[in-house]
Structure 1
């Protein structure tokens, strides 16, 4: 009689997320995933489903973590521009330190065109991220820390696009100084 393997699903999703983050959806084998999760394939199928369902759950988990971070930052009592600058600097640190770039960006290019659920999760993530940036920018303008005629919507969209470009630049050039300079320039531009 086969024995059921009990495991902590949240921990297993976190471990699988790291595998997908490193290898991508197509590069991650079922063996890679079950080894990292410390379960057998029948446990995976019986509890989560197939590799695609696992990937969807991992992308959702990743975006949930980002949303929690954004909510904490918005709840901060510190000046909005200070929170925004810290967020930009954290983004730079992640780009430079994280070998595998951003899982959301990776998933967008690899799976969002062919999997509607992944696309929907990433679209919601992007919209929430832009709302986070708009709110920070709106607060910074209201606090007098940013002087601009541009709308917070345009600035948030511009930052979001710029930040994704930093990821690509780092993947191609592996030049942390370049990324830091672009971030400093961006901060200087919004702080005018």
Structure 2
């Protein structure tokens, strides 16, 4: 008779995600996963697959959380343009409060050119973020909040690609005043 799993799948997935987040995919070993998850190798393989499959599951989990956080941020605002700005501001709050850099950004720089599956997942996530912002900017134009000569798609690409720059600025310079200035510059670029 097979033995029942004696652990909560989501908790172990979160622990693995945090380990990958801390060390990166390449530097994380199966021994690290065994020690962190407090599971033997066969339990990890049976429940999550190999290291790469587990990482992809962790990345899916992280992306789903980011999508929820964007929706929550957008729901705080009273207009489409303010929703886009609120998402940006909440991301910057995360940069200030979180000791870890965004897992998607870390993984993009580490893996997108060498791991087709991770690269595709990260690109799809970025494109969905671009679609979200583009839709908000189109709605903002319809409501007269954004100039009609602005390209909502281009602005959306600019915003999403700027997130990596904001994380980078924080990592390199650790200057909250400058990061706030960069954020305000990004927002002013959208509005003007």
TM-score (normalised: structure 1): 0.89
In structure 2, the partner of 1:116 is 116
Identify unmatched segments of 5+ residues in structure 1: none
Question: What is the CA-CA distance between 1:75 and the residue it aligns to?
Answer: 6.1
Aligned-residue CA RMSD (Å): 2.1
Output one character per residue of 1:6-55: Cα deviation in whole Å (capped at 9) or x when no partner.
32222211111111111101222323323332322221012112111111
Question: What is the CA-CA distance between 1:78 and the residue it aligns to?
Answer: 2.2
Output one character per residue of 1:105-137: Cα deviation in whole Å (capped at 9) or x when no partner.
111121222221111111110110000110111
CA contact (8 A) 2:76 2:86 kept: no
In structure 2, the partner of 1:18 is 18
In structure 1, the partner of 2:33 is 33
In structure 2, the partner of 1:86 is 86
Moved more, 145-154 or 130-139: 145-154
Structure having greater relative contact order (Cα 8 Å, sep ≥ 6): 1
Identify unmatched segments of 5+ residues in structure 2: none
Structure 1 counterpart SS, 2:104: helix
Between the aligned partners of 1:163 and 1:29, the Cα distance in structure 2 is 29
Between the aligned partners of 2:46 and 2:159, the Cα distance in structure 1 is 42
Between the aligned partners of 2:166 and 2:152, the Cα distance in structure 1 is 21
Question: What is the CA-CA distance between 1:147 and the residue it aligns to?
Answer: 2.3
In structure 1, the partner of 2:62 is 62
Between the aligned partners of 1:53 and 1:185, the Cα distance in structure 2 is 40
Question: What is the CA-CA distance between 1:5 and the residue it aligns to?
Answer: 4.6
Between the aligned partners of 1:148 and 1:22, the Cα distance in structure 2 is 43
Are 1:130 and 2:133 an aligned pair? no
Runs of 4+ in structure 1 deviating by more than 4 angstroms, as ranges, are 2-5, 71-77
Output one character per residue of 1:131-182: Cα deviation in whole Å (capped at 9) or x when no partner.
0110111112222222251210010011112221111111111222211111
Between the aligned partners of 1:93 and 1:77, the Cα distance in structure 2 is 16
In structure 2, the partner of 1:95 is 95
In structure 2, the partner of 1:47 is 47
Question: What is the CA-CA distance between 1:189 and the residue it aligns to?
Answer: 2.6
Between the aligned partners of 1:117 and 1:140, the Cα distance in structure 2 is 35
Question: What is the CA-CA distance between 1:98 and the residue it aligns to?
Answer: 2.1
Between the aligned partners of 2:96 and 2:27, the Cα distance in structure 1 is 22
In structure 1, the partner of 2:158 is 158
